Amino acid sequence: MATPFPPGERLPDRVHVTEVGPRDGLQNEPVVLATADKLALVHSLVEAGVREFELTSFVSPRAVPALADAAELVAAVRDVPGVHVSALVPNLRGAERALAAGVDAVVLFVSASESHNAKNVNRRIEASLAGFEAIARHLEGSGIELRGAIATSFGCPFEGEVPVAAVGRIARRFADLGARYVSLGDTTGMATPPLVAERIRHLREAVPEIVPTLHFHNTRGIGLVNVMQGLRLGVDRYESAIGGLGGCPFAPGASGNIASEDLIYLLDEMEIATGIALDGLIEAARLATRLMGRELPAQVSKAGPRLATHDATCTLTAKG
Instruction: Please state the φ and ψ torsions of residue 96, each to the nearest 5 degrees.
Output: -60, -40
- At 152, give phi and psi (nearest 5°): 50, 35
Geometric angle at alpha carbon 238, from 235 and 241, rounded to 5°: 165
List the one residue out of 277, 305, 269 whose CA is nearest residue 11: 269
| E-strand stretches of the chain | 16-19, 52-57, 84-89, 105-111, 145-151, 181-185, 211-215, 237-240
Output the CA torsion 272→106→117→292 (10° steps).
60
Residue 314 bears catalytic tag: no
Question: Of 248, 254, 284, 285, which is the active-site residue?
Answer: 248
Sign for the pseudo-dihedral over CA of 205, 147, 23, 80: positive
**99 with 142: CB under 8 angstroms?**
yes
Contact 204, 233 (CB under 8 A): no
Residues 6 or more apart from 301 whose CB is under 8 A from it? 243, 259, 261, 281, 282, 285, 286, 289
Q: Measured in Å, how far apart are the chain's first and last C-alpha atoms?
A: 39
Cβ atoms of 228 and 7 closer than 8 Å: no
CB 57 within 8 A of CB 88: yes
Q: For residue 110, what are the β-bridge partners?
A: 150
Q: Which residues are catalytic?
A: 248
